[in-house]
Amino acid sequence: MSSNAAGHDRRTDVSIITIHGKSPKIHDSAFIAPGCRIIGDVEIGADASIWYNCVIRAEVNRVVIGARSNVQDGSVVHCDGPEPGVPDGFPTIIGEDVLIGHLAMVHGCVLEDRAFVGLGTIVMNGCRMESDAMLAAGAMLTPGKTIPAGQLWAGRPAKFLRDLPDKAKAGMQMGVAHYVENGRAHAAALAEFSGD
């Protein structure tokens, strides 16, 4: 794990910013695409990928992104500080092998291993997606809701749609493997482009 502070990162057009004495910790094998802004108490695991123009901001709590998880282009990951009745606030904890689709808003929630957050979704404070759960494209999971393991929820507000078959769960994990390989390919292409 490398600990990167502002101005000390090899990546091009990536902001790694320390705030309130907290610096992002990014594993050396993680792919961070140009245009990303990573701020504060953020931890990004091995072979994770953060795609073009994402914002991951953790100035009031922490954000953890596990190994091989990906946050796709234009997404925002944030957290929330303490409030009455919630002394620990709402950190955002993303497990391993999680897929987060393009333009998602992930805020103060827990995404367990192998969860899938679809394109353009919103996951709000206090929510939990259990392992192998899926939130359909465009859905909004309202505060405090839990998607049980292996279920698909859809809509605004999101509601149970159906149980996911094993084939769908396997397909989600193929997507995770694809993003690990694609991150390596983009890192190599960017290194060639910049002459590194």
> What CATH number has the domain bearing residue 141?
2.160.10.10
pLDDT tens for 113-154 read 999 999 999 999 999 999 999 999 999 999 999 999 999 999
| Cβ atoms within 10 Å of 29's Cβ, excluding its own | 19
Determine contact, residues 169/152, Cβ cutoff 8 Å: no
Determine contact, residues 60/79, Cβ cutoff 8 Å: yes
- DSSP letters spanning 147-171: E-TTEEEETTTTEEEEEPPHHHHHH
- Considering its fold, how many domains does the chain have in total? 1
**19: confidence class by pLDDT, cuts 50, 70, 90:** very high
- The pLDDT score that the predictor gives to residue 4 is 45
Per the structure, the complete domain to which residue 167 belongs is given by 2-194
Say how far apart CA 39 and CA 157 lie, in whole Å: 30
Say how far apart CA 59 and CA 18 lie, in whole Å: 9
Predicted TM-score (pTM) of this structure: 0.93
Residues in the chain: 196
